[in-house]
Structures are given as structure tokens and as C-alpha cells.
Chain A
Amino acid sequence: MKIIVCIKQVPDAKDVRLDPKTNTLAREGVQSIMNPYDQHAVEEAVRLKELLGGEVTVLSMGPPQAEEVLRQAISCGADHAVLVSDRAFAGADTWATSYTLAKAVNVIGSFDLLLCGKQAIDGDTAQVGPGLAMRLQIPYVTCVQKVRQATDSGLILERMMDDGYDVLAVDFPALLTVVKDINEPRVPSLKGKMRAKKVEIRRLSAADIGADPACIGLPGSPTQVVKVFPPEARCKRAVFTGDLDEQIGQLVDSLQPYL
């Protein structure tokens, strides 16, 4: 079974601040990590490999230093790593990114399963996974919280919903995006870390994947960011006192204007 996992290097949300003047992320001195959801996608891929055999390829679009997260994925059990990197990709939105990744997946070759994290913690769009599936014309399931059953031909999954979960069956090839509940990512092994140091990372440029220059990077991105601003804090606080019935009464009264 061939699995491809798309991963992204993101700034560690614990360290991120907004530049008060420009309202953009102040990235200087902020540590980069593998997008946390993607760590769960890598873990699930490695578990499926351990269960069914096969191999796991991790794929990332990003600057040269995104190699770090690919190596991290290798240390956690992935077999191969591909970095799609080119200055021409800069400024890509989710539309251009899914185009680029789809082109890269076609270069990597055949696969049974594509895995992505639900969303990246920097952009928070959750669009790249589904976008990639549409471009590859394969079925997809988002927010997978559990793989109930895995066979060589397909999976039975639980998809997280607001009020419970759906149980779905999907045939390969397919794309899943996963939520954090799906597993607990493993600690890298010593053997894995040693392999990660030495492993050769395949690099693909825009030309290597045959990308149309009009479809990648800034020119290929229809999204325009007009303004970025931190939302105003809106919540009013109130403390209700008295016995429980009185407190409930006060709460109902305070909600009245909104009903």
C-alpha cells in the first residue's frame, strides 16, 4: 500500500505574536514546527503501513528549511521524503497550493491513500486537503477521527461531526484529513533519527512538476488579503450572586435581549 502524507512547516503557535503595526505574523525568532495536525497524519500513515505493509512518502511544499519537518517525519517512521520548493511558489494561497501539490503527487506516481492534517495552524483554512482531492479527482473524507477498519482495498472511517460522528466507507484511492483525536503521535526512534539524518530528500522545482507559471505562487492565487486585524475583544463579564435560583434568574434576564 502506498501512502502519501502532505505536511507543512508552520511557526510554533506558542511563540507567535502579531506585529502591532502591520498586523502580520512576527516570524523572526519564532521556532518552526511540523503542523500539529500533520503529525497525526504521519502517525496514522505509519500505523497503516505497519498494519498493511507498503510505504509512506511525505510531501511538503515550502522553502528549503521545510526539509526539517520532512526529516522529522522520517524519524517517526516515514520512508521517503519529497520537497517541492521553488521561489515561484511564494505567495501561494490554498488554490495555488493544491494545484502545486497535485502536480507533485502526479510526479511521485501511483498511490492508494493521501493523508493531510485537518488544517494548518497558521492559515487555518482547512482547504488544501479537499482542494487537492478535487484536483486529483479522488474521493475525500475530512476530519477523520478514527480508522475503524483497514483493508487493501479501502477503509471504514469515523468522521468527526459537531454532534457525534459519521461512519463512512471509502475505497482507494482516497484522501483523508485527520483531527487530533485519531491517534497519539509517537516519539521518534533512535533508528529513525539516524535514518532521518542521512536520508536523501527528493527536491522538485516548478519545472520538475511541469507547473504552469500562471497557476502557482502569487500569480496563481485568487485570494487577496485585504486587511488583517486582531478581532476586538467583545465579551462583557458579569458575576451572578445569590442562591442558585437567583443566579439562574439573573442569567436568563441577561440573555433576554438576545432572544
Chain B
Amino acid sequence: MIVEIARQITDERIIPHRAELDEKDEFPRAILNEMARADLFGVPIPEEYGGFGGGCFDIVLALEQLGRGCIGVGTAFAASSLGVYPVLIAGSQEMREKYLPDVASGKKFAGFGLTEANAGSDASGIQTTAVLDGDEWVLNGTKQWITNGGEAQIYTVVAITDRSRGARGASILVVEEGDPGFSCGPKEKKMGIRASATTELIFKDCRIPKDRLIGRKGTGFITVMKTLDSSRPGIAALGLGLAQGALDEAASYAKQRVQFGKPIMAFQAVQHMLADMAIQLEAARALVYGAARHIDAHPNDMSKVSSMCKVFATDMAMKVAIDAVQVMGGYGYMREYPVEKMMRDAKILQIYEGTNQIQRNVVGQELNKEYARA
């Protein structure tokens, strides 16, 4: 059912508008509202908070469909879940009741604020601070490249609450749109996923109530890691969708395009490219689906499989998108055809939600631990 709905939204609402959203750098509010009405935002949220209690596999299936249409739209959608994962993972009962139902219904969007100018892959470089002053936290600092910035109403923000404790000195707090001292920067100009909004989050003596702290003070990094472990298979799924879309375009073009008196699909050089694209896509799909089902069983090695599937599926998506442009030649390079956008979009999949180099570090570190025990 989730797949059917996501497919219908992709075919009827996303695909006809994706080129325009890309061209105009436009946030897909109408599409997201339709997704909200179709209850898709509720998929990852537990039933007691108005959601459907879907697992990782459900989310993967939904995002795969959306990714086939436009990963910019898919990113805006997924980032709202990402934004409240910290609340879901470590928030108090009151906090969950306060924030999750509105995100499940799509009435409000959320965003996750981790990255800073000097803290990307190395999250320990975070400069944003939160200091308790009476009954309020006072935040100072700037978050960078935050998806849904300026469009979301709820932000989960990682800030240092005790510099002396290093990684154990970080905490996550909820900042709401309209909190005093909080503003969003201008929309960034990006290579791809231009339908999604990306801005700075700026905190200047931003004062928020004491109870906006998620979980206990100093547990921020653990929650960040758990959050990203949960969300990465979704990025992998966007990669699957993008690659499927690129393969669909390239293969149907190759059937129609005639050169030397034959459709180019008849030439082995082209056929082998398409075959390799399809093989890699299926291999990635098997891994992502397998990882998602494994994660739904709440294993101990969630970080490892989550990183593995993110790396493999997004590297695959980049390669398949590049090859789709190659199969389509000059037409593929033109904006009239969607693979040009797909190729620009695909690049971010290898970068955000932890670069693919960092993912390999995670896999490597996990292997190191596993084999130390053996």
C-alpha cells in the first residue's frame, strides 16, 4: 500500500513537475502537502503518535519510489523524518507527544541541524554552544547546509553543552521556528537536488525553554549516531530510485534512437552498458532491502549494514546516472531530458548523511571491533 501511494505520487505529482522545480529552485510544498494528505509522513512514526509504525523496510520502499521521480523532493520529505528521529530515539514522553503527531500528519516539517562550517565529517569540531541560564538554554553559533532550513517548523540542533568533555559534551535541543534569536540564512545555490531547501541556521543568543533538551545532557553524539544509522538506508533507497529512473530513461531511449539503421539498443556496446547498469542496480537493491530487513530486527551491527548499503547504493546511483547520460549521448546532456538532472542530483547522495568515505570508516571500524573479539 505504501509503495502504491508513493508510486502514484511520484508518477502523477513529482515527475511532471521535477524539471520546473529544479529550474526554479522551488520548494515542492504542494507535493509535500499531497504526501502529507496521503499519510506518507506518518510511515516512520509510531502509531501512538499518530503514525503507522513502519519499519526501515517500509521507509526504504517509499523513498525508492520518490527517488525515481526526484531525489530533491525525496530529500525534503526524508529530512523531516530525520529531523524528529532524535526525539523518537531519545526524547521524553512529553516531547514525543508534543512534536511527533504534527510531523506524522505533515502539518509541520522538521530539519536536523548537525553540520557546521568547520564540522562536517568531523562532528567533534562543532562550535555551536548551548548554555543553561536559569530556566532557559541560550544557543549561539551557525549550522550550515541544513535541509528544510527556512521551510521546517521544528529543528533538532546539536550543540556543545560542555566543551571540556569532548564528544560527551554534546547535546541535542529542539528549536522551533520563531524562537527569539533564531533565524535561517538565504537559500544555498546547489548543483542538484534544487527542489530541496538548504540554508544556514543562525543562533544569536537564541533562548529556548529548559525542557527542549532531548534526552540527558551530553548524550548528543550517541543520539546523532543512532539517528544517522536509522536514516542512511533511506538515502540508499533514494539512490535505488534514481538509478531505476535513469535506467528506465536510457533503456527506452536506446530502443527508439536509430543510428546506422538500427535502434542503438541493438549494438552490443550500448546493450552491455545497460546490462551493467541493471546488474549493479539489482545488486544494490538486494543489499539495501536485505539491510533494511536486518535493521528491522534491531541487530547490534546496525551501523555497519546501514553504512554498507548507503555506500554501495549511492556509488551505484552515481555510476548508473553517468552511464545513462552516456547512452543518451548529446540528448542526455541536454536539460530537455531528465538524466542530466539525475546526474547532477546523484552526486549529493555520495556526500550527505556522512560521506561515502566516512561510511567506509564506519564499516572498517566495525570490522576492527568484530575481529578483535574473534
Contact = CB atoms under 8 A, between A and B. Distances in A.
B37 A190 contact: no
A51 interface: no
B236 to A, nearest CB: 23
A188 interface: yes
A190 B1 contact: yes
Given A187-B12, A190-B52, A193-B4, 20 more contacts: A186-B37, A187-B5, A187-B8, A187-B9, A187-B34, A187-B37, A187-B38, A188-B5, A188-B8, A188-B38, A189-B37, A189-B38, A189-B39, A190-B1, A190-B2, A190-B5, A190-B43, A191-B39, A192-B39, A194-B1
A191 B39 CA distance: 7
16 contacts: A186-B38, A187-B8, A187-B9, A187-B12, A187-B13, A187-B34, A187-B37, A188-B5, A188-B8, A189-B5, A189-B37, A190-B1, A190-B2, A190-B43, A190-B52, A191-B39
Interface string B1-21: 110110011001100000000
B332 interface: no
B109 to A, nearest CB: 18
B1 A193 contact: yes
A194 B54 CA distance: 14
Nearest to B43: A190
Contacts of B43: 190
B117 to A, nearest CB: 40
A197 to B, nearest CB: 8
Interface string A184-225: 001111111110000000000000000000000000000000
Interface in A128-187: 186-187
Closest CB pairs A-B (n = 8): A190-B39, A189-B39, A187-B38, A189-B38, A193-B1, A187-B8, A187-B9, A191-B39
B12 A190 contact: no
Contacts of A193: 1, 4-5
A190 B34 CA distance: 12
A194 B1 CA distance: 8
Contacts, number: 33
Contacts of B38: 186-190
Contacts of A186: 34, 37-38
A100 to B, nearest CB: 32
Contacts of A190: 1-2, 5, 38-40, 42-43, 52
Chain B contact-residue range equals: 10 to 19
B101 to A, nearest CB: 14
A192 B8 CA distance: 15
A12 to B, nearest CB: 15
Interface string B28-42: 000000100111101
Nearest to B7: A187
B63 to A, nearest CB: 15
Nearest to B6: A187
Nearest to B35: A187
A45 B151 CA distance: 31
A109 B200 CA distance: 59
Nearest to B52: A190
Interface string B119-160: 000000000000000000000000000000000000000000
Contacts of B52: 190
Contacts of B37: 186-187, 189
B17 to A, nearest CB: 12
Contacts of B8: 187-188
A189 to B, nearest CB: 5
Nearest to A185: B12
A187 B8 CA distance: 7
Contacts of A189: 5, 37-39
B9, B12, B38, B52 interface centre (most CB from chain A within 10 Å): B38
A189, A191, A193, A194 interface centre (most CB from chain B within 10 Å): A189
A186, A187, A189 interface centre (most CB from chain B within 10 Å): A187
Contacts of A191: 39
A69 to B, nearest CB: 15
Contacts of B1: 190, 193-194
A186 B2 CA distance: 15
A27 to B, nearest CB: 24
A191 to B, nearest CB: 5
B1, B4, B13, B52 interface centre (most CB from chain A within 10 Å): B1
Interface in A65-91: none
B269 to A, nearest CB: 35
Interface in A27-68: none
Contacts of B13: 187
B54 to A, nearest CB: 9
B77 to A, nearest CB: 14
Contacts of A194: 1
Nearest to A190: B39
Contacts of A192: 39
Interface string A227-255: 00000000000000000000000000000
Contacts of B39: 189-192
A191 B37 CA distance: 10
A189 B1 CA distance: 9
Nearest to B36: A189
B31 to A, nearest CB: 10
Contacts of B34: 186-187
A103 to B, nearest CB: 35
Nearest to B9: A187
B21 to A, nearest CB: 17
A189 B2 CA distance: 9
